[in-house]
Structure 1
Amino acid sequence: MIVLGCNGFSRVSEFFSERLGATGINKHYLLGHDAAAALLVDGRLVAAVEEERLNREKKTTDFPANAVNWCLEEAGITYDDVDLFAFPWNWSAGTLDEILDGIRVAPMPQPAKTRLMGDMVDLFDEVVSHEAMLADFEARTGHRPDPAKVRFVPHHLAHATTGYYLGGMKDSAFLVSDGRAERFSTLTGEIRDGRITVFEDTVTGARFSIGTLFSAITRFLGFVPNNDEYKVMGLAGYTAPPAPNPFVERLLVLHDDGRYTFTRPLQTDHLHSHDALFEEYFGPFEDTLEYKARVAAAAQQMLNAATAHQVRHLEKRTDLDRLLFEGGVALNCLNNTPLFEGSRFTDMQVSFGASDTGITIGAAAHAWLNDPGTGPADIHAAAAPVSPYLGPAYDEAAIEEALAAFAGRVTVTRLDDDEVVEQVAKLLTEKVVIGWFEGRIEHGPRALGHRSILANPGFSDIKDIINTRVKHREPFRPFAPLVLEERAPEIFEMGRKTSSPYMTFVFPVRDAYRDRIPGAVHVDGTSRIQTLTDEGTPRLTALLRRFTELTGTPCLINTSFNVAGEPIVCTPADALNCFLGTEIDYLILGNHLVAKSAS
């Protein structure tokens, strides 16, 4: 059975821009962001790529025409070979009716209600209804799927299935939390033998979305919501949350049934509805590190409290010992470590597809798992953790063709496999920055290793060098260290965690190592680590082993191979352009060591 998953809408950004003025700092990615495609063949994920990596528009919401085409070409099939088409949204007519009913009773002026209801009807008719999505698919691909082959998967169930499938399909409890989906923002439940049970009384609507509230705070602090929340996380490390914390004491309400609400509900049609409240709590906005850090620390403590409350209640509802945390809120790595350590769960996983990058995988897996032809033996045969290296790769001929196009601007040395590791390890003993490009591109924002920027964390100023000269981003932003999985507990206080391959958990750096890896230690003494194994990333792991032998430093700085505002590089030409447009010192392109020409 072949299943194609697809996320993205041709007109959604245009619609929100026209109707809600969602541009610039007011931009908010509600639907279709992280557009992507994924392909399952007999339950095995053979291809997946984010559209942004191909169309070069960061967090694009556009229909993933390039991603769909690449997945089919990678598998050597056509649309006629696809058995099921899976979409990670299920906007039914009933869903629209429920949204309109909610607007009718909302405390807002009647003209605003009328306008918002009209916008929602138009959004449904033009963009997100079943018919609109199929028409969009046909317009962009030339193929109209047979309705009998189409599966519309509720967004949060796609999220839950993403974590289940990528984690090896073991029975698990789950928490899904994001901005909003069709109607909801968060829910909990279980997955057993591929079948989902939602604990319906834990479902929380969009007006009480911790993800949307955190995004509103992101916007208030001058960043782009649903894109720059990691900047708020970075700022939170610069100070302790205020005591008392007005977000926790005056805004967040925890209920006995495991839900939470806000004393002032969100107004999803009013992007700045809570700005005055934020200034009431913290004083008039100040564009200073101190002010932003104080608000960020307060927001982080609030998010931690809300999700911990949900997990404590979930523990009472399930006898399962494994927790999956999915949705955009799960990318808040500052929250994940205390969330797991404070729980009774023996394992907690956040997948590399936890945000909307992964929901095409989840939708396709959900369609396959729930097909009458899929049995327990099929699930068992496909039940293995999935590598994140799922996108396009480029062979020697493609790399050499790209290098030829940049002749005169670069000098190139061809190395064999052992020489790559030895030469790069030696280069990294110095204060240099190296672009690392190999194999299939990784999926998701935290699964680095094939399109990475590497540096030696032993230099105290290396973070500033990368932020200002390479990434062109704010100086307060921290960097993550690569560490061998078997050595990680020696260097970091990992508690009950034994691995963190996707930089979704943050751990304190042990005192003995803080001065040895200063470039990878945040201001609060923590690091968001990525653990390596020989099986997962053999060449990068070999490089780290050799670097450690040469320097005694057990980590490397690892950050995504891109500059601020651009997607991670995909092709050899992307890598060369980024290399030449920044102060990256060297580039490893497959087995080629590239330097800049002296001219």
Structure 2
Amino acid sequence: MIVLGCNGFTRGAGIFAEHFGAVGIDKHYILGHDAGASLLVDGKLVAAVEEERLNREKKTSDFPINSVTWCLEFAGIEFSDVDLIAIPWNFSTEVVNGLLLGLAHTPMKAEAKLDLLGRLGTLIIDALGHDAVLADFAARTGFTPDPDKVVFVPHHLAHAMTGYYSAGLKDSAFLISDGRAELFSSLTGEIRDGKITIFQESAITATDSIGLLFASITRYLGFVPNIDEYKIMGLSGFAEPPTPNPFLEHFIQLHDDGRYTLTVPHDLDDARCYDPLLEQHFGPLQDTVEYRANLASAAQEMLTVVTSHQLRALETKTDLRHLLFEGGVALNCVNNTKLLESSDFTDMDVSFGASDTGVAIGAAVYAWINHPTTAAQPKTPQPITPYLGPEYDDTAIEAALHDFADQIDWHRLGDDELIDQVAKLLTDKVVIGWFEGRIEHGPRALGHRSILANPAFPDIKDVINTRVKHREPFRPFAPIVLESDAPKIFDMGRKTRSPYMTFVFPVQPDFTDVIPGAIHVDGTSRVQTITDDDTPRLAALLRQFTALTDVPCLINTSFNVAGEPIVCTPADAISCFLGTEIDYLVVGNHLVRKRRSDRS
């Protein structure tokens, strides 16, 4: 069975901009962001790529025409070969009825309700409804799908299936939390033999969304909501949360069954609805790290308290001890470690597609597992890799290099020679762009489109932030480490591996002076563990580098600059290299330098 997963809407961004004010800093405050496509063939995930990698529009919500086209071409199939098309949204009649019921009970004037009703109608009829999605697919691809072969998957169930597939189809409890889906912002439940059970009593409405509150905090502090929340996470390490915490005193109420509500429900029609409350309890906004760090630390503590409350209730409802945490909130890796360590769960997985980057995968898995022809069949776990997107052979790489021949010099090296030379370069305070194989899926660079540096230099963070990434100086960088070495260098707690950079661990005392460039101000690191099976060439480079330096980690950050998607093609990589102060570039087996006149 061939299943195509597809996330994104042609008219979504335009309708949200025109009718809901999602422009400027709020341009990502829409449904369908992180558009992309996936392809599942007989239960094996053979291809997946985010549309932003191909159309170069960060967090795009457009219909993923480039992603769909690439997935099919990669697999050598036509639209007519596809058995099912899976959409990770389901604005069904029941969902629309729920929206109408919620609107009816919203404390708004009648005129305002009618206005909002009209705008919601436009959104659903023209973009999100079943007929609109089918028409959009046909218009953009030229292929008219059979409606009986299109599976509309509730958004949070797509998230759950992403985690379930990534964890090897292991029976698991789950917590899903994000900004909002069709009606809810958070669900808990369990998956047994591929069947999902939702614990409805713990469902959280969109108007009580902790994800949307965190987005409001992000916006209030001058960052871009639904994209820069990780900056709040990074800032939180610079301060202790205030006592008492205003968020826990005045913003959040905890209830039985793991539920919580916001004391002031989120006004989904007003992106700045919490600004007055934030100013009331934290004082007038100040453009200082101290003010932002104080508020960020309070927000981080709130997130941990709320999600821990959800997990305590979940523990009482299931005897499963493996936990899946998915949704945009699960990208808060500082919170993830605390959640696991304070829970009764033995392990927790957060996938490489935990945010909406992964829902095209989860929707395809859901459609495959639940289809009548496959539902009763035993499901065999498949090898899991995040390296699912396009790759480029020597011919494509050399063509791109020649296009920039007036600005660069390069040499093609054998594998061993390349590893040896790059490891030697990294013994100095240099920054290297690293481009190999198929591009990784998800928001984090995992070693195929990465920027690498030596963490032994305490100021290497400043070098990368100012000279390369062009971003705030408080932002930390993650280390890559061999999985076998990780417990020696980091206090891993219950975790034995962290392959997707979704957990944060304290650095062991013996290594704080060894890798200072990869340690955040709070003494922790967001770790990516690697093995020879995951990414053999990067593992070989790390071994060689360690042999030369006795430093067991390398800094790994995404190969892009602020505001741009991670590079995808060789030309993307070379352009980024030339537009920054990256010292060297590795593209496949080619070691690239800038022309001497450009380096002077």
| TM-score when normalising by structure 2 | 0.98
Letter in 2 for 1:490: K
Secondary structure of the corresponding residue to residue 379 of structure 2: helix
The answer to whether the Cα contact below 8 Å between 1:388 and 1:447 also exists between their aligned partners in 2 is no
Q: CA RMSD in A?
A: 0.9
Q: Deviations over 1:507-543 (max 9, x none)?
A: 1111221111111111111110100111101000111
Query: Which residue of the partner structure matches residue 212 of structure 1?
Result: 212
Secondary structure of the corresponding residue to residue 201 of structure 1: helix
Matched, 1:7 2:25: no
Structure 1 unaligned residues grouped into runs of 5+: none
The answer to whether the Cα contact below 8 Å between 1:481 and 1:520 also exists between their aligned partners in 2 is yes
Query: Which residue of the partner structure matches residue 537 of structure 2?
Result: 539
The answer to whether the Cα contact below 8 Å between 1:6 and 1:64 also exists between their aligned partners in 2 is yes
Q: Which runs of 4+ in 1 moved over 3 A?
A: 375-378
Shift of 1:385: 4.2
Matched, 1:97 2:104: no
Query: Which aligned pairs between 1:68-217 and structure 2 lie closer than 5 A?
Result: 68-217=68-217
Shift of 1:494: 1.1
Query: Which aligned pairs between 1:549-564 and structure 2 lie closer than 5 A?
Result: 549-564=547-562
Q: Which of the residues 464, 467, 477 maps onto 1:466?
A: 464
For residues 212 and 564 of structure 2, what CA distance do their matches in structure 1 show? 23
For residues 589 and 446 of structure 1, what CA distance do their matches in structure 2 show? 19
Relative to structure 1, the CA distance from residue 182 to residue 42 in structure 2 (aligned partners, 3 Å threshold; closer, same or farther) is same
Letter in 2 for 1:50: E
Percent of counterpart pairs with the same letter? Answer: 67
Shift of 1:109: 2.7
For residues 131 and 177 of structure 2, what CA distance do their matches in structure 1 show? 27
Query: Which residue of the partner structure matches residue 317 of structure 2?
Result: 317
Shift of 1:356: 0.4
Shift of 1:115: 1.3
Query: Which aligned pairs between 1:429-448 and structure 2 lie closer than 5 A?
Result: 429-448=427-446
For residues 114 and 283 of structure 2, what CA distance do their matches in structure 1 show? 34
Letter in 2 for 1:72: L
For residues 303 and 121 of structure 2, what CA distance do their matches in structure 1 show? 32
Query: Which residue of the partner structure matches residue 342 of structure 1?
Result: 342
Query: Which residue of the partner structure matches residue 579 of structure 1?
Result: 577
For residues 418 and 378 of structure 2, what CA distance do their matches in structure 1 show? 40
For residues 94 and 3 of structure 1, what CA distance do their matches in structure 2 show? 25
Letter in 2 for 1:389: Y
Letter in 1 for 2:198: V
Shift of 1:26: 2.8
Query: Which residue of the partner structure matches residue 597 of structure 1?
Result: 595
For residues 111 and 28 of structure 1, what CA distance do their matches in structure 2 show? 27
Q: Deviations over 1:199-238 (max 9, x none)?
A: 1111111010000100010000001100000111111010
How many residues are treated as equivalent by the alignment? 597
Query: Which residue of the partner structure matches residue 263 of structure 2?
Result: 263
Q: Deviations over 1:251-280 (max 9, x none)?
A: 111112111111111101111111000001
Structure 2 unaligned residues grouped into runs of 5+: none
Query: Which aligned pairs between 1:364-443 and structure 2 lie closer than 5 A?
Result: 364-375=364-375, 377-380=377-380, 383-443=381-441
Secondary structure of the corresponding residue to residue 516 of structure 1: coil
Relative to structure 1, the CA distance from residue 104 to residue 377 in structure 2 (aligned partners, 3 Å threshold; closer, same or farther) is closer
The answer to whether the Cα contact below 8 Å between 1:30 and 1:180 also exists between their aligned partners in 2 is no
Letter in 1 for 2:327: G
For residues 513 and 35 of structure 1, what CA distance do their matches in structure 2 show? 40
For residues 395 and 191 of structure 2, what CA distance do their matches in structure 1 show? 45
Secondary structure of the corresponding residue to residue 186 of structure 2: strand
For residues 107 and 373 of structure 1, what CA distance do their matches in structure 2 show? 47
The answer to whether the Cα contact below 8 Å between 1:127 and 1:133 also exists between their aligned partners in 2 is yes
Q: Which of the residues 510, 513, 528 maps onto 1:512?
A: 510
Secondary structure of the corresponding residue to residue 529 of structure 2: strand
Matched, 1:305 2:321: no
Query: Which residue of the partner structure matches residue 30 of structure 1?
Result: 30
The answer to whether the Cα contact below 8 Å between 1:167 and 1:384 also exists between their aligned partners in 2 is no
For residues 587 and 270 of structure 2, what CA distance do their matches in structure 1 show? 47
Matched, 1:276 2:276: yes
Letter in 2 for 1:356: D
Relative to structure 1, the CA distance from residue 376 to residue 512 in structure 2 (aligned partners, 3 Å threshold; closer, same or farther) is farther
For residues 233 and 318 of structure 1, what CA distance do their matches in structure 2 show? 30
Secondary structure of the corresponding residue to residue 161 of structure 1: helix
The answer to whether the Cα contact below 8 Å between 1:96 and 1:121 also exists between their aligned partners in 2 is no
The answer to whether the Cα contact below 8 Å between 1:352 and 1:447 also exists between their aligned partners in 2 is no
Secondary structure of the corresponding residue to residue 357 of structure 1: helix
| Mean Cα deviation higher: 19-28 or 494-503 | 19-28
Shift of 1:122: 1.0
Shift of 1:29: 2.8
Shift of 1:87: 0.2
For residues 265 and 342 of structure 2, what CA distance do their matches in structure 1 show? 28
The answer to whether the Cα contact below 8 Å between 2:161 and 2:366 also exists between their aligned partners in 1 is yes
Secondary structure of the corresponding residue to residue 514 of structure 2: coil
Secondary structure of the corresponding residue to residue 257 of structure 2: coil
The answer to whether the Cα contact below 8 Å between 1:413 and 1:594 also exists between their aligned partners in 2 is yes
Q: Which of the residues 431, 450, 468 maps onto 2:448?
A: 450
Letter in 2 for 1:386: I
The answer to whether the Cα contact below 8 Å between 2:28 and 2:59 also exists between their aligned partners in 1 is no
Letter in 1 for 2:18: E
| TM-score when normalising by structure 1 | 0.99
Letter in 1 for 2:267: Q
Query: Which residue of the partner structure matches residue 54 of structure 2?
Result: 54
For residues 174 and 226 of structure 2, what CA distance do their matches in structure 1 show? 22
Secondary structure of the corresponding residue to residue 374 of structure 2: coil
For residues 447 and 595 of structure 1, what CA distance do their matches in structure 2 show? 22
Shift of 1:376: 5.5
| Mean Cα deviation higher: 383-392 or 122-131 | 383-392
Query: Which residue of the partner structure matches residue 45 of structure 1?
Result: 45
The answer to whether the Cα contact below 8 Å between 2:389 and 2:441 also exists between their aligned partners in 1 is yes
Letter in 2 for 1:399: I
Query: Which residue of the partner structure matches residue 477 of structure 2?
Result: 479
